[in-house]
Chains A and B, each alone.
Chain A
Amino acid sequence: MSEDLLVLQHIRKSFGSDDVLKGIDFSVRRGEFVTLLGSSGCGKTTTIRIIAGLEEPDEGRVLLDGKDITKLPPNARSVNTVFQNYALFPNMNVEDNIAYALRLRKVRKPERLKKASEMLELVQLAGFEKRMPDELSGGQRQRIAIARSLVAEPQVLLLDEPLGALDLKLRRQMQLELKRLQKKLGTTFIYITHDQEEAINMSDRIAVMNNGVFEQIGTPDEIYYHPRTSYVANFVGNANIYRGNDGVFAVRTEKVKIGDEPGCVIPAVVKEKSFAGGQLRILVALEDGQELTVSRFGINSELVPGQKTKVGWSAEDAVPVIDDGV
């Protein structure tokens, strides 16, 4: 048995003239929590729909546990999906929703209801068996959707922005809970989000997607501290992209030095200054027109818009990246 549970080989998919996936290769290890991170339209949802069998790729193969499942219908794959909008069955109560996969497998009723109760306990909603989906809050529906997908014990669980519709506080709480659940069950999770913080908090590995290709695949640390491309640096680390004579570099906003801080050599003009959420942000323009953002926590600055100043950074804070125009 190989380490890799799920392998995508050269997957291509287009809808009409729109090339959504441009030949992606990707493998996921057993028990891993992998996040596909990207802005909307980058192809991440199409990728998991192909893994789930809800779309067929134009080219390429999907291997699960070494077997080619590219042509298998969704009901014949040991892969389940948690949909973005929950997709609970409105005509069934919570326990029938959760036990649906077992009912299809002809598991006897007492047994499947017992299993449904266990799943409810796992997602901390014991006692909700007889409720109807329309009587639940967003967070509760989300947990039911997760329980329903896990009951069949899939080899891979796909989660399509499952926390997207929840408020910030509940999101944070659910992030921790999902991570706990994943550790406890050891199921392989492939998680989709456009929120880099969520990706960094939860994932073993992150695959940053842009325009139908993977920009970089790596651990949260690698992605954050060693971005491969300017897109990744900007999207994940909110870093500045500096295009100098000796190459293109990513410099994180808090690492840019400004004013009379030591090491400032590049002349710049302050364009904007804002102070929000305890963070000072200064936007400066360099002589060649490039704009950089400088951020500091908890300090104010004497600088005012229009004022001439200098910026700079230490060599180890400038990460060379491949320029993809972002």
Chain B
Amino acid sequence: MKSKSRLPGIYLAVVTAISYVPIAVTIIYSFNHSKISSVWEGFSLEWYERLFSDADIFVSLRNSLILSVLVCAVSAVIGTLGALGVKRTNFRLNKVMAYFSSVPIMIPEIILGMVYLALFSFMNLPFGIVTLVIAHASFCIPYIYMMVSGRLFAMDPSIEEAARDLGASPFEVFRDITFPAILPGLLSGLLLSFAMSFDDVVISIFVTGPGFNTLPLKIYTRMKTGVTPEINALATLMILATTILILLSWKLNKTGDKAEEEK
């Protein structure tokens, strides 16, 4: 019997409101003519114009993009190799290693930030893009690892054997069989990593150097002097970009699952 209660509907409305009203307000106010955030003075694209002529913001945006792409590349290689290694070898420590690999996403970011600060100072590494890439990769690798190894373990091992049996070299097996099978997982892991790396503030504050500002750091610094509608405009664009990425990731995973169901 279906409940006729209106509670579920109300619950849904409240939760949705709590999550999305602030976002909606930010988006609406990015088109506000007024300089003061709380007063609506009519529609305007003024803040977008200002945003696009703000060289500082664009330098940090470029930095962020470079950083996230590098982080994704490093994490993709390490995470995928890790997943393949755990699948293919029989070390007794495999399970322990798989568990420990997810530690960086479980411990609080602020702790991780401090840990890296201490480590890099100790190693005498110059703070900047290199330290950022290392720190970001540490929490992105687990995402790639988990997504890829999920695909690998769902995969029927006899498919790879069949390819070997039909004459494929180990490299050809990877190219034709294994890689296509893990690709959806790898891509959604990459999108997640990109999103996590692109908007990270806490860890970045600890490990960046004076010459390298990422976009979230720039926004954070500006916020200290009060929210300008220009930041609202920037936030709106970032929400748009993130939404697109999330939709893409969702779609990729769905196609991947459909392929799996075939068994």
Contact = CB atoms under 8 A, between A and B. Distances in A.
Contact of A87 (B159, B169, B180, B181): B159
Interface centre among A73, A80, A100 (most CB of B within 10 A): A100
A231 to B, nearest CB: 29
A80 B165 contact: yes
Interface in B179-205: 180-181
Contacts of B162: 81, 83, 87-89, 148
A188 B52 CA distance: 73
Contacts of B176: 89, 100
B165 A74 contact: yes
A91 B262 contact: no
Given A54-B161, A83-B161, A85-B158, A91 B180 contact: yes
A91 B181 CA distance: 8
Interface string B152-190: 000010110111111111001000110011000000000
Interface centre among A79, A134, A148, A152 (most CB of B within 10 A): A134
Interface residues of A, number: 27
Interface in A99-142: 100-101, 104-105, 132-134
A45 to B, nearest CB: 11
* Contact residues on B (Cβ < 8 Å of other chain), bracket: 20 to 34
B167 A75 contact: yes
B247 interface: no
B162 to A, nearest CB: 4
Contact of A75 (B168, B261, B262): B168
Interface string A8-31: 000000000000000000000000
A133 B263 CA distance: 9
Given A75-B168, A80-B166, A104-B167, A133 B262 contact: yes
A85 B159 CA distance: 9
A53 B163 CA distance: 13
Contacts of A325: none
Given A83-B162, A89-B177, A134 B262 contact: yes
A94 interface: no
Interface in A53-89: 53-54, 73-75, 79-81, 83-85, 87-89
Contacts of A104: 166-168, 172
B158 to A, nearest CB: 4
A132 B172 CA distance: 21
Contacts of A149: 165-166
10 contacts: A74-B164, A75-B168, A87-B162, A89-B176, A91-B180, A100-B163, A101-B167, A104-B167, A134-B261, A149-B166
Given A90-B262, A152-B167, 9 more contacts: A53-B164, A74-B165, A89-B162, A90-B259, A91-B177, A101-B166, A104-B166, A104-B172, A148-B166
Interface of B: 156, 158-159, 161-169, 172, 176-177, 180-181, 259, 261-263
Interface of A: 52-54, 73-75, 79-81, 83-85, 87-91, 100-101, 104-105, 132-134, 148-149, 152
Closest 9 CB pairs of A and B: A134-B262, A87-B162, A87-B158, A101-B166, A91-B180, A74-B164, A104-B167, A75-B167, A83-B158
